[in-house]
Structure 1
Amino acid sequence: MTGGAGFIGSEYVRMLLTPGAGPDLAPSAVTVLDKLTYSGNRANLAPVADDPRLRFVHGDICDPALVDSVVPGHDVIVHFAAESHVDRSIAGATPFVTTNVVGTQTLLDAALRHGTGRFVHVSTDEVYGSIAAGSWTEEWALAPNSPYSASKAGSDLLALAYHRTHGMDVVVTRCSNNYGHYQYPEKVIPLFVTNLLDGGTVPLYGDGGNIRDWLHVHDHCVGIALVQDKGRAGEVYHIGGGTELTNKELTGLLLSACDASWDRVVPVADRKGHDRRYSLSIAKIQNELGYAPSIDLASGLAATVDWYRANRAWWEPLKAAPAR
């Protein structure tokens, strides 16, 4: 499990190792390989840290020797590790290309060399660019607009090329915007919630009209588990939440949840190349694998806000740390 100490990866690890938390894939052992960059956090694995099946390896997916030493003996690689913050990619693209493209190639080479049974590559709806109406299917052409999404599109194509060239058992998932507990507070929901809980302001890009589909991280991980277990090799599967909101609508919900008013919102200049709307069709994963999101946005957001309110000891040190 690469990136298993990050937001989505740690949810997947906790789900796999907690009876009844999700699809029962019955792992005999789980190895987490994580570089512990600013957004990776061993504390995210605390609920399962004492499970004897869990092994943690501190290291970089771009290190061929380390990857080559970790991969043997594993039946499945689930590849979460990525640089993922769009604004950071605009400021400097090199870490995104290095980790997302070269790191993925390093893992694929090791998986091929050691005969790993299945390679699950976790990606994003952002690889498609922006869609004015309707929803993307898995066959849609890729048209990424940010350095982040371009690097993820490159890694997707590499993964699928290893299936077509080498016959590797590769599956790719693409998700919509995730939210939930343990999300690093640079992303919009934890950033807004923690700022509001501290009595601060929140920045709203442009006119606030950009539209995103919101997916609770647990539903995302359930979808990944279904793909890991039953997805067809060489295929792409979309995992979405089914609730589209403008950023302004989302801001209103977060203000209400934090008992704050609109005077706490500060309009800021729009992000460069800001995609206007994302929307995934999830018909394929529903029809083939029986996926359906189970956490509605209202209850999911309420639980998320409650978690950040109750877990200041987790996020306050992260916000206080110098930017990296």
Structure 2
Amino acid sequence: MNKLLAEDIYYLMVLGRAFEYAAKENYMKGNISGFLHLDIGQEAFSVGAIKAFDKGDIFATYREHIMAMARGIEPKSVMAELFGKKTGVSAGKGGSMHLFEPSRFFYGGDAIVGGHIPNAVGCAYARALQGNEDGVLVIFGDGATNGGAFFESLNIAATHKLPILFLCENNEYAIGTKITRATPFLEQAKKAEPYMLTYSVDGMDAEAVYEAVSSARKQIQEGHGPIFLEAFTCRYEGHSVSDANSYRSQQEMNHCKAKDPIEKFKKELKQQWLCSDDEIKNIEQKAQQTVNEAVEYAQNSIDPDVNALFEHLFYEESKNVVS
């Protein structure tokens, strides 16, 4: 990592938090409807992982706003999608949980917990057949590791030595259920140990996440087969905006927020990369301005035409499909 990359990561983390707070505010105003899952507190994980996996395919969970922007999708297009506008990244049809941009190899937002993991394995299999070394990154929460498709995916990936990185975001809660109430241990990497190499990382440390994902990505590119990486994080909000988060004590939340990833990385910018207060302030102001412009863009964008309801309902022949 160098200073330019560190500054970019900090910008994206600050952008992500400001974006999420703006999304929450507009949800409360009624400008955003449906489901909204905020990533506040987990910015180090979302930005660090995506920046490290700069090539290849990415399959993400439905808590993917920050990941999408870190991948290079315009914040205004993401916000417009949340508003259900035609100018949104998914043309207003996906909303918060379905941010999809093939040009960025970002197949993110799957509303089914763990539903995207088999898809990612299939993509990795295709990559292997094509001789493409970029590989696949699939991101999922700790709750997804209890599903049958998760173990089937591990088995297939390991058997065929596929170029895929399984990245588990362990915030210790599957919606409102503590992970240790649904599985006998906290470390979900134990489930993958019989199948592949496993590692763990502090998901609240952006540089640590970046380095861990970079290292794992290099291994899968070199033909070592699949890797399982577990990042321990903490989300500050409830599962979604409709979740009061009442199942977590104030003591737990205070402990969680004491590890704030943005404040931690700000200190690193000053100490390790010698960034001045003015440089950091400029980054923060730029991020906030970008979010303000994204909200304005979404507010002024048009709604999808009603006929869009009848598009993409049935199979359409594709030149990329071999029959």
| TM-score for both structures, normalised by structure 1 | 0.39
**As a proportion of its length, which structure holds more helix?**
2
The normalised TM-score by structure 2 is 0.39
Looking at both structures, which has the greater relative contact order when contacts are Cα pairs under 8 Å and sequence separation is at least 6? 2
